[in-house]
Amino acid sequence: MVWLKSKHEIDLMRVSGKLTEQTLNAVRDIIKPGITTKEIDAFAEDFILQHGGKPSFKNYNGYPASVCASVNDVVVHGIPGNTKLCEGDIISVDIGVLKDGFHGDAARTFAVGSISDEAKRLIEVTEKCFFEGIKFAKDGQRLGDIGSAIQDLAESNGYGVVRKLVGHGIGTKMHEDPDVPNFGRAGHGMRLRSGMTIAVEPMINMGTYDVFMESDGWTVRTKDGKLSAHYENTIAITDGEPEILTLTD
């Protein structure tokens, strides 16, 4: 059952969303060749704690870190480790923050130093997919309208839209109903209502949409080994335009 948030609850989600955004921006500024994903994770955790929040991901269903750090062909849920980032890599950083009882959730894909034009284009189109999708994140529209818009834009650029992973509702729990697919048919799916809070998160592959999970039970990679990008924000459905709670600046 979908939980519609009150004005006060959305006010609280603005706080957690803002800290999520601030953490991502701080992480962006330290990404460079030679840094390890473990160092990124430690930095983000310290930043969240110092600002009065808690990392949503740490120990969530057994996840061992505070951020997901997914490099190159890793789609999502990359576990931070000792491997150093290299010039030309791309890294998707997914961060969740719990503050005042509510979660914020957002992801960005960053360049590591100078990257190829093809990688730049993938990152740019993935971000555009998010904004194209949320044009339909309005009271009375349907979830399929969001997914269809994302899918159409990604596929028109020759990219694959991941099917096995989707966005989600969010609130006092990191994952709530409903599922929010990045693909689908316009006019189908649950009808959106003012007060819903959802995480919309296109995961777009340079090649096939097929993915597989590694033996660690978390890391998801593209099946063809090509690059993947991820762009996510927590949004609130309103009586007018959607409010992006993790993108305020």
**What CATH number does residue 111 fall under?**
3.90.230.10
Domain that holds residue 215: 7-244
Mean predicted confidence (pLDDT) in 215-229: 98
Residue spans of beta strands (DSSP E) within the chain = 54-55, 67-71, 74-76, 90-99, 102-111, 160-161, 167-169, 176-180, 197-200, 203-205, 211-213, 220-222, 228-230, 233-236, 243-244
- Quick one: average pLDDT of 72-90? 98
In a domain? residue 249: no
Spell out the residues 6+ positions from residue 42 whose beta carbon is closer than 8 angstroms to its own. none
Return the pLDDT at 2.
Answer: 85
> Does 179 map to a domain?
yes
Q: Provide the token pair at 228.
A: 């993947």
Give the number of domains in the chain. 1
Whole-number Å distance between alpha carbons of 38 and 108: 17
Nearest one of 104, 95, 90, 97 to 204, comparing CA atoms? 90
CA triple 114-27-38, angle to 5 deg: 90
pLDDT at 102 over 90: yes
Q: What is the pTM of this model?
A: 0.97
51 in a domain, yes or no?
Answer: yes
pLDDT of residue 190: 97
| Environment class of 194 (CB within 10 Å of its CB; exposed 0-12, middle 13-18, buried 19+) | middle
**In a domain? residue 98:** yes
User: What is residue 249's predicted lDDT score, i.e. its pLDDT?
Assistant: 72
| 153 belongs to a structural domain | yes
- Each residue's pLDDT tens digit, 27-60: 999 999 999 999 999 999 999 999 999 999 999 9
Task: Answer yes or no: is 1 within a domain.
Answer: no
> How much of the chain, in percent, has pLDDT values that exceed 70?
100
Residue 34 belongs to some domain of the structure: yes
Residue 11 lies in a domain: yes
Query: Cα separations (Å) of 64 from 26, 77, 99, 174?
Result: 21, 11, 20, 16
